[in-house]
Amino acid sequence: MHAFFACRQRSHGISGRVISLSQSVTLIKAKLEEANPWIASINRLSPKDALYSDGKTPANPWRLCTVQQVGAVKCLARIIPVWSSGIVYFVVLTQLGTYVVLQAAQTDRRISNASSFQIPQGSFIVFSMLSLTPWIPVYDRVVVPALRRFTKHEGGITLLQRIGVGLALSVATMLVSCFWLVPQLLLAGLSEAFGGIGQLEFFYRQFQENMRSVAGAIYCLGFALASYASGVMVTVVHRATRGRDGRPDWLAQDLDQGRIDLFYLVTAAIAAVNLIYFVVCARWYRFKESNGNDDGSHASADVELVPKMSASAAPV
């Protein structure tokens, strides 16, 4: 004989009619699944979602994954928009490294009019290093403590703000390059100190501890993609600006006959649009919860499997 009981109408929507015990259990399960979709996913586990005898290794890793793996994918999904803005930033640096040498080859590189010694054209890139190298310790020892007094932030400014400063300086670098060569390289070095190093530190802090190698890998991947994008950009400019009457394009071999200034202005415009895109991504971004650790390392409990967590619960 079946047991019956009466349920009065409540806020959860069960009507005040007499229902069986099995029906009440079904209704309760439906309400629980509606309130917590994770419970519904447990009930949908099939025999293919089994574990090996050790209770940790999934029989089919394409169907089951650890909480740690889920966290890794979520971390990548958060970082990819910020990382993509770095590709355009590296395009600016790549173009700079290419055409600075060509510009220097057609300039007066003598230290003075009375000197016959000329600075080698390939050595001009050293001015970028001269601004980058001393700025790093000055920034860490002088600028950060000074900013910390006003912002109350451990790093003076956030890593995203640091990257944003680097991207803004990259725009200024392309504008200055239309007029002066050495100041352009000095600004490029400062830009890399903010943007390049800021990106690398951002990746290392936001990735999980077991993904630190991935942080360095995607940084290098962004630089590699920027090199290919730079080549594509140069090819497009060659074809788009070549005159039908035989006039040279903007990037002619003889820069005096080309318009390298217009090419730099176009690059600056692209960098400015990229800066706006980065600001949007930075406002959307939510930093990883680090539980008090600035490096954002995760606890080892994250390696537990979802099926094991569900198996420990009593059946509903």
The residue type at 77: A
- Segment 257-294, tens digit of pLDDT: 878 888 889 999 999 999 999 999 998 888 766 544 44
* 306 occurs within a structural domain: no
> Is residue 310 a part of any domain in this protein?
no
β pairing state of 4-6 and 18-20:
antiparallel
Q: How many domains does the chain have?
A: 2
Name residue 193's amino acid: A
Q: Is residue 194 part of a domain?
A: yes
Q: Are residues 175 and 51 in the same domain?
A: no
- The pLDDT value recorded for residue 46 is 53
pLDDT of residue 23: 63
Task: Give the integer Cα–Cα distance in Å for 230 and 226.
Answer: 6
154 with 206, same domain?
yes
pLDDT of residue 62: 67
Domain assignment present for residue 309? The answer is no
Q: Domain check: are 117 and 136 in the same one?
A: yes
Lowest mean pLDDT among 135-139, 216-220, 304-308: 304-308
Q: Are 165 and 279 in contact (CB under 8 A)?
A: no
Residue 13: band (very low, low, confident or very high) from pLDDT cuts 50, 70, 90 = very low
218 and 207 Cβ atoms separated by less than 8 Å: no
- pLDDT for res 167: 93
Q: What is the pLDDT of residue 272?
A: 94
- Of 95, 281, 97, nearest to 202 by C-alpha is 281
DSSP 36: -
Mean of pLDDT over the chain? 75
Cα of 102 vs its chain's centroid, Å:
32
Q: What is the CATH number of the domain that holds 230?
A: 1.20.1250.20
d(CA 71, CA 118): 56
Which of 8-22, 139-153, 185-199 is predicted with the least confidence, judged by mean pLDDT? 8-22
Is residue 56 situated within a structural domain?
Answer: yes
Amino acid 228: pLDDT = 93
Same structural domain for residues 27 and 154?
no
Per-residue confidence band for 32, with pLDDT thresholds at 50, 70 and 90: low
Indicate if the pLDDT at residue 45 is higher than 70: no
Given a cut of 60, whether residue 81 has pLDDT beyond it is yes
**Amino acid letter, 171:** V
Cα 173 to Cα 180: distance, rounded to the nearest angstrom: 10
211 and 279 housed in the same domain? yes
Same domain for 103 and 196, yes or no, is: yes
Lowest mean pLDDT segment, chosen from 114-123, 126-135, 208-217: 114-123
Q: Looking at the structure, do residues 141 and 258 belong to the same domain, yes or no?
A: yes
d(CA 276, CA 282): 10
Same domain, 78 and 104: yes
Q: Tell me if 156 sits within 8 A of 82, measured CB to CB.
A: no
Residues 15 and 117 in one domain: no
Burial of 251 (0-12, 13-18, 19+ CB in 10 A): buried
pLDDT value, residue 256: 76
Answer yes or no: is 35 within a domain: yes
Query: Do both 35 and 85 map to the same domain?
Result: no
| Same-domain status, 83 and 57 | no
Domain membership of residue 23 as a residue range = 4-65
Say whether both 97 and 181 belong to one domain: yes
Domain boundary among 65, 85, 114: 65
Q: For residue 66, which phi and psi values (nearest 5 degrees)?
A: -80, 165
Please give the torsion angle defined by the CA atoms of residues 305, 307, 310 and 316, in that order, rounded to the nearest 10 degrees.
170
